[in-house]
Copies of this chain bind each other. A is one copy, B any other.
């Protein structure tokens, strides 16, 4: 299989970026030359030790010369980095990013595109609670979704290239609008993380004695929540702020639903409680059928 691009630059080789590089290295089908760019020299040193890039650089201008440039930095920094890269990108090249909140990011970068350069942002729905170049692995995207959110008027050929890039990473692709994307992610990802962080907080606010006991006896339930609460704080802070509107709206629905459940428990309404629990089971079964569980 011919490589998709002559050169591919990953700006920010963390969990996502280094997984792309590993995949590219292992399969040889993404690009002939792999470039990793980062402002932190320790990250680049690690990338060199891992042997997952041909070129490492702190210079964004060098990265911008690639046929495909992927911005894999935290969501709050994507616009800034994109605006640094775009003036140096060459006609016929494609810019993409992996930001997990879209907001006005797409239209804003699309507004400053040089002639002949395409921008096809995407969001791979995959991750772990770990971060940094050591956290990546080449199968991270397998059977996961990569959501493409091309701004209006995007070049269809560039869209096809970015779709194919994700398919070669093992992912399935879907094209969404920014707004659809953000509402869906508030529900499937941002709210669960907010709740996970908060439940740790609630445990932390208990009396010293009960708090110690909670840590001892976390067996089933609590520890499943804390797994996702171990995620990177800066990344999640940025996501929460970037998607605040959709997130706070989803949280409000959730609190209303919680109060309905609390009322049912308070009155001892067995039928109401069971029917709500049954819905959880039904959704779980659908997830298993959809290979997402």
Measured CA separation A262–B249 after assembly (Å): 10
Contact of A197 among B202, B250, B276 (CB under 8 A): B276
Question: Of B189, B225, B265, which contacts A240 at CB under 8 A?
Answer: B265
CB of A220 within 8 A of CB of B216, answer: no
Q: Is residue A199 contacting chain B, with contact meaning CB distance below 8 A?
A: yes
Instruction: Judge whether A5 is part of the interface by a CB distance below 8 angstroms.
Output: no
A239-273 interface mask toward B, CB cutoff 8 Å, 1 = contact, 0 = none?
Answer: 01100100110110111011001100110101001
Are B227's CB and A224's CB within 8 A?
yes
The reply to whether the CB of A23 lies closer than 8 angstroms to some CB of chain B is no
- A80: interface (CB < 8 Å): no
Q: How many residues of A contact B (CB 8 A)?
A: 90
A262 CB contacts on chain B under 8 angstroms: 248, 251
> A102 interface residue, CB < 8 Å from B?
no
Q: In angstroms, how far is the closest chain B Cβ from the Cβ of A198?
A: 5
Residue from B126, B250, B255, B266 within 8 A of A220 (CB atoms): B126
Of A52-60, A150-158, A161-169, A285-293, the stretch lying at the interface with chain B is A285-293
Measured in the bound complex, the distance between the Cα atoms of B222 and A195 in whole Å is 11
**Is there contact, CB below 8 Å, between A217 and B283?**
no
Question: Which of chain B's residues has its CB closest to A126's CB?
Answer: B219
* Contact across chains for A293 and B127 when beta carbons are under 8 A apart: no
What's the number of copies of this chain in the assembled complex?
2
Contact A195:B201 (CB < 8 A) given known A219-B144, A293-B226: no
Nearest opposing residue in chain B for A222, CB measure: B188
228-242 of chain A: CB within 8 A of chain B? 228-231, 233-234, 236-237, 240-241
Distance to closest chain B CB from A196 (angstroms): 7
- Encoded as 1 (CB less than 8 Å from any B CB) or 0, chain A from 28 to 69 comes to 000000000000000000000000000000000000000000
Q: A202-B250, A237-B273, A287-B226 are in contact. Are A268 and B244 (CB under 8 A)?
A: yes
* B273 with A204: CB separation less than 8 A: no
Interface 1/0 per residue, A86-130 and B, CB below 8 Å: 000000000000000000000000000000000000000111100
Distance in Å: Cβ of A226 to nearest Cβ of chain B: 5
Whether A215 sits at the interface, judged by CB under 8 Å, is yes
What chain B residues lie within 8 Å of A237 (beta carbons)? Answer: 270, 273-274, 277
In the assembled complex, A77 has its CB within 8 A of some CB on chain B = no
CB-CB nearest in chain B for A261: B198
A184 on the interface (CB 8 Å rule)?
Answer: yes
Is A215 a contact of B279 with CB atoms below 8 Å?
A: no
Most chain B CB inside 10 Å of its own CB: which residue of A127, A216, A270? A216
Q: Known interface pairs A201-B261, A284-B200. Does A292 touch B224 (Cβ–Cβ under 8 Å)?
A: no
Option from B144, B145, B199, B270 in Cβ contact (under 8 Å) with A192: B199
Contact sample, A vs B, 7 pairs, CB 8 Å cutoff: A180-B210, A180-B213, A198-B276, A203-B283, A229-B277, A229-B280, A237-B277
